[in-house]
Amino acid sequence: MSDVSITATPAAGELTRAAIAEIDASDQLGDVLALPEHLRDAVWRVESAIMQDWDTSSGLVVAGMGGSAIGGALARAALGDHTSRPFFVTRAYGLPTWTTPETMVLCASYSGDTEETLACYESAGALGAKRTVVTTGGRLAEMARAEGVPVIPLPAGFEPRAAVAYMIVAALEVAALCGAGPRLTSEIDVAASHTEQLVAEWGPDAPEDSLAKEIARGLYGTTPVIAGAGLTTPIAYRWKTQINENAKQMAFASELPELDHNEIIGWEGAQGSGRFSAVFLDDSDAHPRVKARMELTEQMIAGNAAASFRLETRGQTSIERVISLVLLGDLVSIYLAALHGVDPGPVKALDELKAALAQR
């Protein structure tokens, strides 16, 4: 399902595989299209690295930043009300105050050198909490292996944000192993097959009027505001960060029903503040009142937005539905980069900030 309202002239230009390759030096598009393969490989990597259950855990904390943290948030959304113990994602230098020695702490850092995650790893160790690590290497892997902490190895060569499938699966599998949620291994495999179909439908070889390309053209030249609710809340945040990093442009994320109590009023002055677009990410299994709010809110905002889209998850299971809109958002961000003529790979400002912090 897709409701579309565009008042601005959509961007022109082809969004073919060849056209994107001209600006995509590190093949970020290829990493997005490989999402189904990443899901399957991730399951194998977790099973190869961890051979035991920790069913005595009192809950799970996923510690990470950026592209490494979002996997935990998306996994938590996919589990929904099927979690049997607390499942929390922390993006900070410390752990939640309620963390105990019985808590499982999954430290996620693609590089293995994220300073906030390293601090969480050490804090968990000081508490005597159970720990697991998911990384390509770095200081995090060195410390974990020296202390006998299980390490889920990730393939090198990605930008951290492109390893989202690996981070989702790692969080889901560790949640199952520590008793925080049910095992979803078979559902992940089905989701991978479902995602292959969506890659064909929305990918660069699809027609120029396919959904992902239509959305990118509608958002071009605007500041997107992405809204989610329930299962789609972390997906909206993923869209925001992917547009930030891949398309090199501002974007914002909101959450329903909260935005109906404040942000909706701000849209009355949107046209005088710039060119804003709205994207509402609906879930096919959302609460009826949430779905009604999303539909009515999109209708009220559309007149003040340069473009407005209401999109719905695809698939039967929660993991299928989560992955469907993750894929769509990732593709939209790459297509936006192509329309802007910018390479989606480099993140110069992040590299400069890390270098400056290292000098402090």
DSSP conformation class of 284? T
CB contact set of 342 (below 8 Å; sequence gap of 6+): 23, 247, 248
Predicted confidence at residue 6, as pLDDT, reads 56
Confidence of residue 325 (pLDDT cuts 50, 70, 90): very high
| Per-residue confidence (pLDDT) for residue 13, from 0 to 100 | 76
pLDDT of residue 231 exceeding 60: yes
Tell me how far apart the alpha carbons of residues 288 and 257 are, in angstroms, rounded to a whole number: 12
Whether the predicted pLDDT of 56 surpasses 80: no
pLDDT of the residue at 311: 98
Q: Between the CA atoms of 141, 74, 212 and 265, what dihedral angle is there, to the nearest 10 degrees?
A: -130
What mean pLDDT do residues 242-248 have?
A: 98
pLDDT over 80 at 10, yes or no: no
Identify the pLDDT of residue 12: 62
- The tokens describing 83, both together, are 């979690």
- Residue 245 is a catalytic residue: yes
Is-above-0.85 flag for pTM? yes
For 7-15, what is the mean pLDDT? 66
pLDDT at position 137, please? 97
Region 71-79: mean pLDDT is: 97
Could you give the percent of the chain with pLDDT greater than 70? 95
Specify the pairing of strand 223-228 against strand 103-109.
Answer: unpaired
Mean pLDDT of 244-271: 97
Lowest mean pLDDT among 69-73, 307-311, 316-320, 355-359: 355-359
Catalytic pick among 245, 298, 312, 320: 245
C-alpha–C-alpha distance, residues 43 and 77, integer Å: 18
122 in active site? no
Residue 186 CB burial class (10 angstroms; 0-12, 13-18, ≥19): exposed
- Extract the tokens encoding 95: 């752990």
Whether residue 8 is predicted with pLDDT greater than 60 in this model: the reply is no
Q: Out of 102, 201, 255, 354, which one is annotated catalytic? A: 354
* Cis before 257 (ω within 30): yes
The rounded radius of gyration (Å) of the Cα atoms in the chain is: 20
Return the bridge partners of 63, or none: 90, 107
pLDDT in tens, 189-208: 999 999 999 999 999 999 99
pLDDT above 90 (res 290):
yes
DSSP codes of every residue in 120-169 = HHHHHHHHT-EEEEEESSHHHHHHHHHTT--EEE--SSS-GGGGHHHHHH
**Mean pLDDT in the chain?**
94
Q: Provide the pLDDT for residue 55.
A: 63
Q: Are 15 and 335 in contact (CB under 8 A)?
A: yes
In contact, 73 and 96? CB cutoff 8 Å: no
Query: Once rounded to an integer, what is the mean pLDDT over residues 136-149?
Result: 97
Provide the 3-class DSSP secondary structure of residue 23.
coil
Rounded Cα distance, 276 and 278, in Å: 7
> For residue 205, what pLDDT is reported?
97
pLDDT tier at 57, thresholds 50, 70, 90: confident
Tell me if residue 82 is catalytic.
no
CA 63 to chain centre: 15
Task: Name the DSSP letter for residue 110.
Answer: S
pLDDT score at 162: 98
- Tell me the C-alpha distance between 318 and 282, whole Å: 13
Domains of the chain: 2-16+205-340 (3.40.50.10490), 32-188 (3.40.50.10490)
In sequence order, the β-bridge partners of residue 228 are 255
Kindly indicate the confidence band of residue 50, based on its pLDDT and cuts at 50, 70 and 90.
confident
